[in-house]
A and B are shown apart, each in its own frame.
Chain A
Amino acid sequence: MDHPITDHPTTQVLLIEDNPGDADLVRLRLVECKTPVNIHCVHRLSDGLASLSKETPSVVLLDLNLPDSRGAETFRKVMEHSPNVPVVVLSGQDDEALAIKAVHQGVQDYLIKGNISSKHLERAIRYAVERQALLRSLEITRKQQIEFKNQFLSHVSHELRTPLTCIHQYVTLLLDGLAGPLAPDQSDHLKTVLKSVNQLHAMIRDLLEATRAESGKMRIEPRCLALGDLIQQTVTMMRPMAGEKQIGLEIGVDQRLPLVHADPDRVLEVLINLVDNAIKFTPPDGSVVVQACIVEADPSTVYVSVSDTGRGINPETKTLIFERLYQDADSVDNNRSGLGLGLFICREIVRLHGGRIWASSEPGQGSTFTFTLPTYSLPKLLAPVIIYQDRLRPAFVLVRVELTPRSNPPRGVWKETWQQCLEIVQRCVYLDKDLVLPPMGTSGTAETFFVVASTDLDRSGIMITRIREQLERVPGLKSKCALTIMATPVQLPSDISSQSLEQQVLTVAEQITGMITTGLVRSSCVEKKDKRDLN
């Protein structure tokens, strides 16, 4: 068993105390201690933190009211700075309540000034040091256990895939008639097996995903995204499932919905999960509605909700359902499949986007799950490039670079291709006056990049030529995809100069957003159209 005080011949004390009398008194008591003590005394919190950055003392003796910090703030700052160093608060007689609060929040002990004997002080320091060491080792053990568990789950989900793959292969082999013809009911039985295999597969995926989320290894790749399309896609995918139960699946998307900054695959995962749940918990002939809107009070946030006419959620479980492994007790007899990971994964995905997710419901009245996503703020991105010397630059052109793959390449391969192209486009622009917008859309078959260039249409030709030449040099790109580059001038209202500069930026952004979302760039400006197959 470690005894830090006896192991280390000298106890290093950092005393943070601004009152010279109190400091001397503590110093005196410390000198009287049986164990040798080395004292470093500072009068300000900032000096204390600076000292902690340089060396780690055995213990910090801390007065809470210092010239540069007062009250609870003082111990919070010390603990935030050096979470592993034990802290003993030196409290006045009149603020013992604060000292007790400090103990609740993690300091090891407190002493009432004027009441301190050297024996008392020595014991407080010794216990503080030992308790802190104990807590630390517990924390390390806890982290190791989590890590071990996550590694185990990751290993298990990998190992489960191997036999699952085998089952999947043979069932589909039979179902596809590759091992001879099947009688209709045999085929039905096999379809049941396949359904279960798919469920098992989904569970394994969730298990790995939740493990990843828990260990902070989940990643998102946000893009500039039209959420309405993603919702449409979700509803199209889920309609057959809703149809089986005669459940109506409707969309209500605000026409003026701004673009969001989000990872399309991940948001799709959240939407599918929520709609899937809604369908499962809604009785036949009910309805499920997916909505997206923006509220005036909070224009930088999009609200997405999935409402159902199911049996609702009990008020006390409304927040619990988002916890890992939570299973609604009632759902067991409802033949509900799943591990209780879906909503946990949803919450983690939404959190990674900087959003929130919550459920609102009255039992028997259906429930609504709502999550938020940040809007994509074009004005913020644009401002630095379209303003020069406190004035809006005179003209802007929106350049659209479209890569259309010739076949359906595997996603990973295609992604590598277009990311390489995006990097090239970025190298073809002037960083101080042109802006390559983040990738747009749901990353489908065609990939489109937009460049806002501070130039007029005639001069944009140079940039287009440069981009085309550079892209054509990419080995193998010709065989992989067709390239289209187009430029369209950004039309601005003639009275724009009468607006405030801030308003002018908003106007330009609005105009560009309009051009992007309505496909104007594609259909207009035929004379500058530069469509060339790379072949």
Chain B
Amino acid sequence: MPRPKILVVDDDPDLVRALRLRLRANNYDVTTASDGYSAIASAQKEHPALIILDLGLPVGDGFVVLDRLQNSDALSGVPVIVLSARDPQSNEERALKAGAAAFFQKPADNDELMNVIRVSLGGASPASAVAIVGHPFGTAPPRPLTSSH
């Protein structure tokens, strides 16, 4: 089975190198781009299964890239995970509205990131990989109905 290809877009080459190593270890093929323009060119040429996208990029920032991808018939279905140092309070909603599948602020938790990649690519997610916040109704003991109607 071919390994899914992931396009990593970030202008920090050191970070790209580390991500490439980690993604390869998780059985993904990796291709990279370091600016907005080459990100779009590379997406068109390589047809990645998923894109990891920084927002602060030279030559067309992450939002420009998101916009181009959304407007391309061939690429609008490719899930994009935004990985940015920017403040989620002002960028997360905007990125999701622009078509991103998820927003991670740097530094991101590796397990969580890998899990979201797996889920976005249509794989199963091990429940333990993501911290699940307790839900009050999930833990409440069921009580028998005491009166009839």
- Distance (whole angstroms) from the CB of B23 to the closest CB of chain A: 10
**Stretch binding the partner chain, chosen from B27-35, B40-48, B67-75, B139-147:** B139-147
* Chain A contact residue count (CB 8 A cutoff): 55
How far is A445 from B142 in the complex, measured between Cα atoms in Å?
Answer: 19
A232 touches which of B85, B96, B134, B140 (Cβ 8 Å): B134
Smallest Cβ-Cβ distance to A177: which chain B residue: B25
The answer to whether B107 has its CB under 8 Å from any CB of chain A is: yes
Interface positions of B (Cβ within 8 A of A): 12, 14-15, 18-19, 21-22, 25, 85-89, 92-93, 96, 101-108, 110, 115-116, 119, 124-125, 127, 129-130, 132-145, 147, 149
Cβ contacts A504-535/B at 8 Å (1 or 0 each): 00000000000011111011110000000000
CB pair A166 B102 closer than 8 Å: no
CB pair A408 B119 closer than 8 Å: yes
Residues of A within 8 A of B135 (CB): 229, 441-442, 444-446, 448
CB pair A410 B134 closer than 8 Å: no
Interface-centre pick from A197, A407, A443 (highest chain B CB count, 10 A): A407
Mark out the residues of chain A between 146 and 199 whose CB falls within 8 Å of any chain B CB in the assembled complex: 154, 158-159, 161-162, 164-166, 168-170, 172-173, 176, 178-179, 197
Residues of B within 8 A of A413 (CB): 96, 101-102
How far is A233 from B132 in the complex, measured between Cα atoms in Å?
Answer: 10
Residues of A within 8 A of B104 (CB): 410
**8 pairs of residues in contact across A and B, judged by CB atoms under 8 Å:** A158-B87, A162-B106, A178-B22, A208-B87, A442-B136, A518-B143, A519-B137, A522-B140
The answer to whether A226 has its CB under 8 Å from any CB of chain B is: yes
Residues of B within 8 A of A497 (CB): none
CB pair A444 B132 closer than 8 Å: yes
How far is A71 from B145 in the complex, measured between Cα atoms in Å?
Answer: 65
- Asked whether A219 and B89 contact (CB < 8 A) given A413-B102, A441-B135, the answer is yes
CB pair A442 B103 closer than 8 Å: no
19 more A-B contacts (CB under 8 A) besides A228-B136, A264-B133, A441-B136? A158-B86, A162-B15, A170-B14, A176-B110, A178-B22, A208-B87, A217-B89, A233-B133, A412-B88, A412-B92, A416-B96, A440-B136, A444-B134, A444-B135, A445-B132, A446-B135, A491-B149, A519-B143, A523-B145
Smallest Cβ-Cβ distance to A169: which chain B residue: B18
How far is A519 from B145 in the complex, measured between Cα atoms in Å?
Answer: 11
Residues of B within 8 A of A522 (CB): 137, 140, 142
Residues of B within 8 A of A407 (CB): 119, 124-125
- Asked whether A443 and B133 contact (CB < 8 A) given A219-B89, A517-B140, A522-B142, the answer is yes
How far is A313 from B118 in the complex, measured between Cα atoms in Å?
Answer: 49
